[in-house]
């Protein structure tokens, strides 16, 4: 199971071009959904106004090197989920983030570059499976143990709302991907294979097609907000309060 390209057997009833077209459609769905979300919430207009306001209030002008340094620090912080101070929340987020990247990237590579089993490097299906497992570990850890709002409201860990659409559809996509691949590899009935493949496609489509309603777009907003905050702090235009000092005036 860990060494077979799960998409090659699809060629029996589905040409490689079909899956390739599907992936292109999902990429377009993310772009369109993010654009609609940005327009609906006025995020682009807000950030543009925020930048103009910060530029007018700046006490110092930042050079290209300083701006690049701030961008690098923002990327580094995002890479380690530095916005989460508690290690449990950070670990869960990192597992989902890097699992998602492995899962998506290896899917794209296997579907576009290696449509036949004879050409697929073993490392790709291994990474694909590993990515899906990382998503499941990090996602279920978050859903059942780390959702602060659910615990605070006294709701059951099984309670799901609109805010859980992204995580829920991501977990379902990864779970049914592994189940489909297992059933496919175990040489089970073609009907069972098609059923689980259909469920995998359904939840994957829900994941990428629901960007406008889910928190998917937040992955793009957070780095932008963090970078703008660093720029404002560096040029002196930030309107956020200074960090509180200790009892004796020391940090």
Residue 66 contacts residue 74 (beta carbons within 8 Å): no
Query: What pLDDT was estimated at residue 26?
Result: 95
Note down pLDDT in tens along the chain; length 251 residues: 678 899 988 888 888 899 999 999 999 999 998 888 877 776 667 667 777 777 777 777 777 788 888 778 777 776 666 566 676 778 888 999 999 999 999 999 999 999 876 788 999 999 999 999 999 999 888 877 766 555 444 555 555 555 678 888 999 999 999 999 999 888 768 889 999 999 999 999 999 998 887 776 666 666 777 777 777 777 777 665 554 444 444 33
Q: Who's near 17: CB < 8 A, 6+ residues apart?
A: none
Q: Is the pTM of this model over 0.85?
A: no
Residue 75 contacts residue 125 (beta carbons within 8 Å): no
Query: What pLDDT was estimated at residue 119?
Result: 82
The packing angle between helices 87-113 and 123-141, to 10°, is 150
Residue 135 contacts residue 99 (beta carbons within 8 Å): yes
Q: Which of 84, 101, 102 has the alpha carbon at shortest distance from 93?
A: 84
Q: Which of 2, 226, 218 has the alpha carbon at shortest distance from 93?
A: 218
Q: How far is CA 184 from the centre of its chain?
A: 27
State how far the Cα of 203 lies from the Cα of 168, in Å rounded to an integer. Answer: 9
Query: What pLDDT was estimated at residue 212?
Result: 83
Give, for 243, the enclosing helix (H) or strand (E). Answer: none
């Amino acid at each position: 199971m860990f060494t077979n390209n799960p998409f090659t057997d699809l060629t029996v009833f589905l040409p490689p071009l079909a899956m390739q077209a599907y992936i292109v459609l999902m990429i377009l769905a993310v772009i369109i959904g993010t654009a609609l979300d940005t327009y609906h919430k006025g995020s682009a207009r807000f950030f543009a106004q925020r930048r103009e306001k910060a530029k007018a209030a700046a006490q110092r002008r930042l050079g290209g090197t300083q701006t690049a340094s701030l961008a690098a620090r923002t990327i580094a912080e995002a890479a380690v989920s530095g916005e989460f101070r508690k290690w449990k929340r950070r670990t869960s987020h990192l597992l989902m983030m890097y699992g998602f990247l492995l899962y998506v990237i290896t899917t794209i590579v296997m579907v576009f570059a290696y449509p036949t089993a004879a050409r697929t490097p073993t490392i790709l299906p291994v990474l694909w499976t590993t990515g899906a497992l990382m998503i499941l570990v990090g996602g279920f850890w978050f859903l059942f143990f780390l959702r602060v709002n659910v615990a605070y409201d006294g709701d059951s860990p099984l309670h799901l709302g609109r805010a859980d659409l992204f995580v829920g559809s991501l977990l379902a996509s990864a779970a049914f991907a592994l189940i489909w691949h297992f059933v496919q590899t175990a040489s089970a009935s073609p009907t069972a294979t098609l059923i689980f493949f259909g469920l995998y496609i359904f939840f994957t489509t829900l994941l990428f097609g629901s960007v406008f309603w889910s928190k998917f777009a937040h992955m793009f907003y957070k780095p932008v907000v963090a970078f703008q905050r660093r720029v404002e702090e560096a040029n002196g235009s930030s309107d956020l309060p200074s960090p509180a000092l200790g009892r004796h005036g020391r940090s």
